[in-house]
Amino acid sequence: MTGRDTAVAVWRLLGRSRFGIFAAFVATAAVFAVLSPVFLTAGNLVNIANQTATISILGFAMTLVMLSGGIDLSVGSMVSLSSVVVALLLAAQVPLVPAVGAALLLGAILGASSGFIITHWRIQSFLVTLGLLSVARGLSLVLSDGRTIYIEDERFLDITALGSFGPISALMIWTVVTLALNLSAERTTLSRVKCVLSCSALDGA
């Protein structure tokens, strides 16, 4: 095998398997480790994990949507709207648990509404979630009046600062969600959907 053949084989391995993602991750970590001597310390790694846990959980949920052949463009705006609702309720002296529950309920209602429209009226998920994106973004702007909302609830500030709910850290929640979504993707209807989509992609290639 020539050097060119080896390079092509490595490129195909990186591009068509999970090894490519892992290699990119290792390369990125190596660069930051060289640039900063504290990057690989335990405290910094735990801090990074806690900070990225929320985005990762959103990404996992988006993965399930994409496995089913859909797409959701409204995720970011829904997070923004939920954050505004929580902030407004806490600023109005509403207790933490009901405030968070109200934001989650609002997100569930809007998400279920878009899902109903997509499945019942057979409208493309791209169009429906694009519309929901605009609605959620507009509501965020209207409710907040375009101003900063200051939160003084100490429990909420402690949670956001420490990245944990008492003894339960964001990393623990991330781990549980990761395992649950992996099981649902491998051992439920989603696994068959994933297989069908993969086979269709291979047939088209």
Mean pLDDT by 10 residues, the chain (205 residues): 56 60 84 92 84 83 81 92 95 93 94 93 93 95 93 84 74 83 70 50 44
- Give just the sign of the alpha carbon dihedral 130, 89, 175, 111: negative
Cβ 38 vs Cβ 91: under 8 Å:
no
pLDDT at residue 200, as a whole number: 46
Residues pairing with 164 in the sheet: 169
**Given this model, what pLDDT does residue 25 score?**
83
What is this structure's pTM?
Answer: 0.75
Which of 153, 141, 160, 155 minimizes the C-alpha distance to 89? 153
